[in-house]
Amino acid sequence: MKEFPELIEKAKAAKTASRKTALLRTDAKNEALEAVAEVLWENRESVLSQNRIDVAAAREAGMKESLVDRLELTEKKMKGVVEGVRMVKALADPVGSSDAAWTRPNGLRITQVRVPFGLIGIIYESRPNVTVDTFALALKSGNAILLRGSRSAINTNRELVALIRRALEKTEVPVDAVALVESMDREAVDAMLTLKEYIDLVIPRGGRGLIDMVVEKTIIPVIETGVGNCHVFVDASADLETAKRIVINAKCQRPGVCNAMETLLVHAALAEGFLPGMVRLLEENGVEVRGCKKTREVAPGVKEATEEDWGTEYLDLILAVRVVPGVEEAISHITKYGSGHSEAILSNDHANIRRFMSEVDAAAVYVNASTRFTDGGEFGFGAEMGISTQKLHVRGPVGLKELTTSKYMICGDGQIRE
Amino acid sequence: MKEFPELIEKAKAAKTASRKTALLRTDAKNEALEAVAEVLWENRESVLSQNRIDVAAAREAGMKESLVDRLELTEKKMKGVVEGVRMVKALADPVGSSDAAWTRPNGLRITQVRVPFGLIGIIYESRPNVTVDTFALALKSGNAILLRGSRSAINTNRELVALIRRALEKTEVPVDAVALVESMDREAVDAMLTLKEYIDLVIPRGGRGLIDMVVEKTIIPVIETGVGNCHVFVDASADLETAKRIVINAKCQRPGVCNAMETLLVHAALAEGFLPGMVRLLEENGVEVRGCKKTREVAPGVKEATEEDWGTEYLDLILAVRVVPGVEEAISHITKYGSGHSEAILSNDHANIRRFMSEVDAAAVYVNASTRFTDGGEFGFGAEMGISTQKLHVRGPVGLKELTTSKYMICGDGQIRE
Q: Each residue of A310-344: pLDDT tens digit? A: 999 999 999 999 999 999 999 999 999 999 999 99
Which are the contacts of A234, defined by CB distance < 8 A and separation ≥ 6? A243, A247, A264, A265, A266, A267, A270, A274, A278, A346, A347
CA dist A186 → A151, A209, B271, B362 (Å): 10, 14, 53, 33
Q: Is the pLDDT of residue A1 over 80?
A: no
Q: For residue A211, report the phi and psi dihedrals to the nearest 5 degrees.
A: -65, -45
In this predicted structure, the answer to whether residue A413 has a pLDDT above a threshold of 80 is yes
Banded pLDDT at A32 (limits 50, 70, 90) = very high
Residue B2, pLDDT score: 87
Q: Are A355 and A326 spatial neighbours (Cβ–Cβ below 8 Å)? A: no
pLDDT of A237 > 90? The answer is yes
Using a CB–CB cutoff of 8 Å, tell me whether B244 touches chain A: no
Q: Which pLDDT does position B192 carry in this prediction? A: 97
Q: Which residue among B239, B396, B417 sits closest to A249, beta carbon to beta carbon? A: B417
Question: pLDDT band at residue A401, thresholds of 50, 70 and 90?
Answer: very high
Counting one residue from chain A and one from chain B, the pairs whose CB atoms sit within 8 A come to 191
Q: Which of B249, B373, B374 to mutate to test the interface with A (most CBs of A within 10 A)?
A: B373
**What's residue B66's pLDDT?**
84
A178-199 per-position pLDDT tens digit: 999 999 999 999 999 999 999 9
In a mutational test of the B interface, the residue from A239, A247, A416, A418 whose CB has the highest number of chain B CBs within 10 Å is A416
Element of type H or E holding A333: helix A327-337
Mean pLDDT of A84-101: 95
Burial (CB count <10 Å: 0-12, 13-18, 19+), residue B62: exposed
Nearest to A410 among B358, B359, B366 (CB): B366
Distance of residue A119 Cα from the nearest chain B Cα, in angstroms: 11
- pLDDT score for B225: 86
A378 touches chain B (CB under 8 A): yes
Q: Give this prediction's pTM.
A: 0.93
User: Which segments of chain B have a pLDDT < 50?
Assistant: none
Q: Smallest CA–CA separation between A234 and chain B, in Å? A: 12
Residue A208 confidence (pLDDT) above 90: no
Q: Choosing among B361, B381, B384, B394, which should be mutated to test the A contact, i.e. which has the most A CBs within 10 A?
A: B361
Contacts of A413 in chain B (CB under 8 A): 242, 368-369
Q: Could you tell me which of B234, B225, B215 has the C-alpha nearest to residue B259?
A: B225
| CB-based contact B219 A216, cutoff 8 Å | yes
Closest CA of chain B from A410, distance in Å: 5
Q: How confident is the model at residue A99 (pLDDT cuts 50, 70, 90)?
A: confident
A53 — contact with chain B (CB < 8 Å)?
no
Q: What is the 3-state secondary structure (H, E, C) of A348-383?
A: CCHHHHHHHHHHCCCCEEEEEECHHHCCHHHHCCCC
Q: What whole-number distance in Å separates Cα of residue B198 and Cα of residue B8?
A: 9
Residue A205's identity, in one-letter code, is R
Query: For residue A328, what pLDDT is reported?
Result: 98
The nearest CA of chain B is from the CA of A68 a distance in Å of 27
pLDDT at A66 exceeding the cut of 90: no
The chain B residue lying nearest A418, using CA atoms, is: B253
Whether the pLDDT of residue A355 is over 90: the answer is: yes
Q: How far apart are CA A52 and CA A160, in angstroms?
A: 14
Q: Which helix (H) or strand (E) element contains residue A411? A: strand A404-415
Is residue B284 classed exposed, middle or buried when 0-12, 13-18 and 19+ CB atoms within 10 A define those classes? exposed
In this prediction the ipTM stands at 0.92
CA distance A202 to A128: 18
Question: Residue B8 burial (CB < 10 Å; 0-12/13-18/19+)?
Answer: middle
Range 191-220 of B in CB contact (< 8 A) with A? 200-201, 215-216, 219
| Pairwise CA distance, residues B128 & B163, whole Å | 14
Q: Contact at 8 Å (CB) between B414 and A246?
A: yes
Residues of A in contact with B374 (CB under 8 A): 408
Handedness of CA A123, A125, A131, A137 (dihedral sign): negative
- Could you tell me which chain A residue has the CA closest to the CA of B405? A391
State pLDDT tens for residues A279-307. Answer: 999 999 999 999 999 999 999 999 999 99
Residue at B329: amino acid letter: E
B261 inside 8 A of chain A by CB: no
* Chain A partners within 8 Å of B363 (Cβ): 407-408
Q: In this predicted model, what pLDDT tens digit does every residue of B256-300 receive, in sequence order?
A: 999 999 999 999 999 999 999 999 999 999 999 999 999 999 999
**A115: helix, strand or coil:** strand
Asked if the Cβ–Cβ distance from A391 to B200 is below 8 Å, we say yes
What whole-number percentage of chain A has pLDDT above 90?
Answer: 93
Whether the Cβ atoms of residue B54 and residue B71 lie closer than 8 Å to each other: yes
Contact list, B378 vs chain A (CB under 8 Å): 104, 417
Of A117, A358, A415, the CB nearest to B23: A358
Least confident range of A205-214, A242-251, A406-415: A205-214
Q: Residue A126: is its pLDDT beyond 80? A: no
Which of B18, B410, B413 to probe by mutation at the A interface, max A CB count within 10 Å? Answer: B410
For residue A206, the model assigns a pLDDT of 85
